[in-house]
Chains A and B, each alone.
Chain A
Amino acid sequence: MSDLEGQLRAFLHEGEVPVPDVPDLVDRVAGAQRRHRRRRVAGVVAAACLIAAAGIAGTVLRGGDSTPQPATPGPSCAGVTLRTAGVSTVAGAAGPTLALVLGSGTGGDARCPIGPGTRIEIGTGADALSTTIPHGITPVRLRPGRDALLQLTWTTWCGDGPPQVRMTFSTGETTTLDLPAETETPPCATASDPAPLRFVALRTADVMSGGRPGPG
């Protein structure tokens, strides 16, 4: 190390350097912190306003609903399953009744809407029947410990054996259930019924310990 380097090192550590007197430095730092927090809050608010405005503007430009879409993920019906199904062949005025019980696992999304727009299909191919829960029906939302009971009239079935039941939720997710082999299906009506599968009712059913609501 040269003499100059040694001198420089010594000066930087021990040399006489005038130190400015700033008695209010603590207050200045505290004030600067407050200003910084205010600016940060203002920035966040401004950013939120910009995002909201951009969302509204985008919706308006698209010509759609002016309500901004929520930023949070939409509800999911992935956890909802068809637990059981049964057919009551005691013919009433409306014909045999198909009862479907839907349940949600512990991790299910309580926001999953089961209601208008939910589609029910029975079987596949040429014999398939389908219906959709109509508008005006109050949707039910499942949560752990609560099932939903869906009732439909099912007047005719010309397929082979008990078919599979498929439900497609308004979120696009589906759940299926194969009707048990012993299920008594409606007879194949020769006269074409314009609505062989029709919505009747939808309600929630609390699951009692050790039991489930029956399909009837």
Chain B
Amino acid sequence: MDADFAEFVAAKQNGLLRYAMLLTGGDPHTAADLAQETFLRLGRRWRVVRDVEHQDAYARRTMTRLWWSRSKRDRREVLLAEPEERATSDADPAWTSDLWAALQLLPPRQRAVLVLRYYEDCSEKEIAEILACRPGTVKSQASRGMASLRRLMGVAGDGEPVVRRLVDGATDSAVEDERAGGRSAHE
């Protein structure tokens, strides 16, 4: 590994690991894997990346693209059991805010679109270009994601926020319904 690339990895790893946590919905193992895969991808193009003006944004977009591809692959393989198990075990202690808890409940693709929209301030067209998908897909994913967030946060005015019950430790049918709804929207 080039010395300057090693320095780059060391300098950027915390920022990218945090971003990976946002994308993965708080899964530390997947986030670490995603960060490693992202650095590997960047390393292959290091001669180009080295001279990129906004390296952080470039790296985040590379990571989001990888996460999007991985989500599509996982969706095809119908690997739904693992995220559900993770949501009820590893992630619960880390739910320090309602919004973070709600984000973790979103399907991966909705979360990726919202992160690009509100973290990177990308337009729908830009997001579609980054993720190599149709603008219509971005629009629908963003719309569903925000609707789910409103419902989870209780902003829609239909009762107690679902995430509040999760943060409080309750696991009732409404939470299960939300998770099931997230999975169906994910598809």
Contact = CB atoms under 8 A, between A and B. Distances in A.
Contacts of B35: 22, 25
Secondary structure class of chain A's binding surface, majority of residues = helix
Contacts of A18: 21, 26, 28, 94, 96
Interface in A1-53: 3-5, 7-9, 11-13, 15-20, 22, 25-26, 28-30, 32-33, 36
Interface string B111-132: 0001100110000000000000
B175 interface: no
B118 A22 contact: no
A8 B149 contact: yes
B162 interface: no
A7 B40 CA distance: 33
A20 B32 contact: yes
Given A12-B118, A20-B17, A33-B1, A26 B149 contact: no
B1 A30 contact: yes
A12 B115 contact: yes
A3 B154 CA distance: 13
B118 A9 contact: yes
Scoring A3, A11, A32 by chain B CB atoms within 10 A of each residue's CB, the highest score goes to: A11
Given A4-B149, A11-B97, A11-B100, A29 B14 contact: no
Contacts, number: 84
B14 A19 contact: yes
Nearest to B10: A26
Give the interface size class of chain A: 20 to 34
Given A4-B149, A12-B119, A29-B1, A20 B31 contact: yes
A197 B40 CA distance: 71
B65 interface: no
Contacts of A29: 1, 9, 36, 39-40, 43
B32 A15 contact: no
Contacts of A16: 96-97, 100
Contacts of A20: 17, 21, 28-29, 31-32
A4 B43 CA distance: 37
Interface string B21-57: 1100010110110011101100110000000000000
Nearest to B145: A8
Contacts of B36: 25, 28-29, 32
B146 interface: yes
Contact of B13 (A7, A15, A22, A32): A22
B17 A4 contact: no
Interface string A77-118: 000000000000000000000000000000000000000000
B32 A22 contact: yes
A11 B99 CA distance: 8
Interface of B: 1, 6, 9-10, 13-14, 17-18, 21-22, 26, 28-29, 31-32, 35-37, 39-40, 43-44, 94, 96-97, 99-100, 103, 114-115, 118-119, 146, 149-150, 153, 155
21 contacts: A8-B118, A9-B119, A12-B119, A13-B119, A16-B97, A16-B100, A17-B22, A17-B26, A17-B100, A18-B21, A18-B94, A19-B17, A19-B21, A20-B21, A22-B13, A22-B32, A26-B9, A28-B36, A29-B40, A32-B40, A36-B40
